[in-house]
Amino acid sequence: MTKKQYQKITEIKIRNLHGSFESDGIFWEDRLVRPIDIYPEYADQNHENNDLQKGNIVSTSSIFIEIHTDDGLYGTAGPIDTAHADIVEKSLSKIILGKDPLAIELLWDQMYRLSVHGRQGITMMAISAIDCALWDLKGKYYNTPVYKILGGPTRKEIPAYASMLGFNVTDMNLVSERAKLYKEKGFTAQKWFFRYGPMSGLEGLKKNVEMVKTLRDSVGDDYEIMLDCWQSMDYKYVVELAKRIEKYRPYWLEETVMPDRVEIYKKIKDKINIPLSGAEHDYTRWGMLRFIEKNALDILQPDIYWAGGLSEVIKIANLASTYDLITIPHGHSSNATLHFSLSQVPIHTPYQEYLIKWNKVHQHFLKTPEKPNKGFFGETNLIGLGMEIDESKIQKEDILEIR
């Protein structure tokens, strides 16, 4: 049966899904250091999601968007936050309704040009979600996984690194136990998160170093460990930290300072002997170009759901490859990121991030969550981006339909 040449977008659904899952023990055990922790009243705060757990039940809610067409197809993206959904509803929906959903480049450019004050932050995140939903829809239109449209596959499997956000990072017995456990699960690399920043003084610095030493002692020499500062440090502190942990051979040191401080990234990179990664909290190819032109990073980490969508992160990766740089997207969505990774040359995308706890939350409502098997993501045959919702997981739903 021949498909008609022109579809149009007829409806956008914003689905706010509520559910829960069981957890053995405390799910969110610890949080990372944050830029705001320079202020004591914030430094003492517990994890932001602590109140979501009652006994062994963890409540969760996720907002997904669906873009529907006049011939019955739809594409799904998410989860996104309430602020992003609000922009989709009140602004971006007006741009894409009635348009051809296969014209992804056109729609991206029109959303970008009409959002002159939204080139970063929550508006760009909303654009990213629409872009990902359109790619999911395009895969369904052509009845194929998205990575095959992008030019893949370049390989049959991709190593995943276990990203340990939310695990305890202050009890060294637990750190050692979990590091060994996830090595046994087949992961060939792990990323851990520092809990202390410059305002914690020398004592906090020593505790950060102790965590790195514990990791190296636990997993052995023939294993990769990555370390995330989550944009919460400064030049002097990072240089001292890097000097003390260099002997433990980190694969990279991530997001050492806030993303607008490109010159400081350059200054740090020139001073330390550990590869520097970052730009997770930056946006678009133009944002990444600042880091590239300054030779400020070794590894770029744009988030597909933040930096401009799958369309834009493909452009970022192409730009980075001309400088022989590595692009490993932040792991917000394993589904979208898998299709990106499968379409990339392995030497330029050697790993995919798998956030152990956050991906349990982000993929809770999906029929086919993408999970690594023995530390590796495999080639998928799921149509589109594999974003179908598992209706049985929904305990309550609020839905907004925009036409």
Q: What is the CATH number of the domain that holds 107?
A: 3.30.390.10
User: Residues 6 or more apart from 39 whose CB is under 8 A from it?
Assistant: none
Instruction: Check 68, 84, 330, 339 and give the catalytic one.
Output: 330
Q: What are phi and psi of 162, to 5 degrees?
A: -75, 115
Is residue 99 domain-shared with residue 210, that is, in the same domain?
Answer: no
When divided into structural domains, the chain yields a total of: 2
Token reading at 306: 């933040």
Does the residue 4 lie in any domain? no
101 & 130 share domain = yes
Burial class (CB in 10 A: 0-12, 13-18, 19+), 63: buried
> What confidence score (pLDDT) does residue 367 get?
98
CA distance 88 to 400: 11
- Asked whether residue 260 is assigned to any structural domain, the reply reads yes
User: 85 and 223, same structural domain?
Assistant: no
Are 117 and 224 in the same domain?
A: no
Contact 215, 187 (CB under 8 A): no
Among this protein's residues, is 332 annotated catalytic? no
Same domain, yes or no: 221 and 305? yes
Q: Considering the entire predicted model, what is its pTM? A: 0.96
Tell me which DSSP letter residue 167 carries.
S
Confidence (pLDDT) at 12: 98
Contact 277, 161 (CB under 8 A): no
Residues 204 and 98 in one domain: no
Considering the domain architecture, whether residues 74 and 130 belong to the same structural domain is answered as yes
212, 299: one domain: yes
**pLDDT at residue 1, as a whole number:** 44
Question: So what's the pLDDT on residue 181?
Answer: 98
Per-residue pLDDT of the chain (403 residues; tens, 9 = 90+): 455 567 999 999 999 999 999 999 999 999 999 999 999 999 989 898 989 999 999 999 999 999 999 999 999 999 999 999 999 999 999 999 999 999 999 999 999 999 999 999 999 999 999 999 999 999 999 999 999 999 989 999 999 999 999 999 999 999 999 999 999 999 999 999 999 999 999 999 999 999 999 999 999 999 999 999 999 999 999 999 999 999 999 999 999 999 999 999 999 999 999 999 999 999 999 999 999 999 999 999 999 999 999 999 999 999 999 999 999 999 989 999 999 999 999 999 999 999 999 999 999 999 999 999 999 999 999 999 999 999 999 999 999 999 9
Q: Are residues 127 and 172 in the same domain?
A: no
The continuous run of DSSP H or E covering 29 comes out as: none
Residue 289 phi/psi, 5-degree rounding, is: -60, -30
Closest CA to 134 of 108, 106, 101, 111: 101
Find the domain containing 60 and state its range.
Answer: 9-143+392-402
Cα torsion for 277, 122, 120, 386, to the nearest 10°? Answer: 60
